[in-house]
Structure 1
Amino acid sequence: MNTYPLGEFEEIVLLTVGVLYNEAYGVAIKDAIEEKAQRKVSVGALQSALKRMEKKGYLESREGEANAQRGGKPKRFYTITAFGKRALQQSRDIRIELWESIPKLALEFKFS
C-alpha cells in the first residue's frame, strides 16, 4: 500500500483548496481556514505549506492575471492533483477506520 503522509495543517490546506476550487489563492485559502477551522494562520506558514505540497506533488499552481489592486502582481491559484486527492482519501479512510474502531464505552463521559 502506498502511503501519502499528510500533516494536520497540510490536510486542512488541501481540503480548503478543494472547497475553494477555482478561487484557491493565498489570501482566500488563509481566510477560509481562519473562518472554518477557527484558527489563526500566518501568511508565512501557509506559503511554506503550499510550496511544500506543490513540491510533493499534492498541489499544482498557475498564475492569474496581473491586477492593479495588487500593484500589478498576479494571484497564484492552486488546484489539487490526483496525487493530492489520493493523500486526502487515505487520510479520510484512516480517520474513519480509527473512529469506527473506538469502543462505544471509551467515548462515554463519567462525571464524579
Structure 2
Amino acid sequence: MSKHHLGEFEELVLLTVAVLHDEAYGIAIINEMERRLGRKVSIGSLQTVLRRLEKKGYLSSRFGEATKIRGGKRKRYFILTNYGIKILETTKDQRMALWNAIPNLDFRNGHA
C-alpha cells in the first residue's frame, strides 16, 4: 500500500476519530481515549499527532462555528480520509494475520 506505517498512538487516535465520527475534536478525542482505554492523554501530544496524521493524508479537518462559551474560539473537527480508512484496514489485517498465526493460543493457562 505505502511505505507509511502507524505507531501505536497514531493508530489509537485514528480509531478514536472513527468512533467519534462527526464529533471528533481535541477534548472529545482525549475524553474518549481516556474513558475507553484508561490511559491519560495530553493535549500537546494529541495535537502533535493530529497534525502529523493530517499531513500524511489520513485525516482532514474543518472548523466548527464560534461559540460564546468558548470565547469565540472555534473547535477543529477531524474526520478520516479514504486514505486513513485504508491504512487502518491494512493495519488491522496485519495484526489479525499475526494473531491467527499463533499456534494453540491459550492465555488462560499462562502460555501459548
Is TM > 0.5 for Structure 1 vs Structure 2? Answer: yes
Q: What range is the shorter-chain TM-score in?
A: over 0.9
After superposition, the C-alpha distances for 1:7-66 in whole angstroms (9 at most, x for unaligned) are 100000000000000100000000000011110000000000000000000000000000
Q: 1:83 to 1:105 in 2, by over 3 A?
A: closer
1:103 CA displacement: 1.1
Task: Please state if 1:65 is matched with 2:59.
Answer: no
CA RMSD in angstroms comes to 1.4
Distance 1:4 1:88 in 2: 11
Q: How does 1:21-100 map to 2 (within 5 A)?
A: 21-100=21-100
Whose relative contact order is higher, 1 or 2, with alpha carbons under 8 Å and at least 6 apart?
1
1:4 CA displacement: 3.7
Which runs of no fewer than 5 residues in structure 1 stay unpaired? none
- From the two aligned structures, give the one with the greater strand fraction: 2
Identity %: 52
Which runs of no fewer than 5 residues in structure 2 stay unpaired? none
Q: 1:68 corresponds to which letter in structure 2?
A: K
> When the two structures are superposed, what TM-score results if normalisation uses the length of structure 1?
0.92
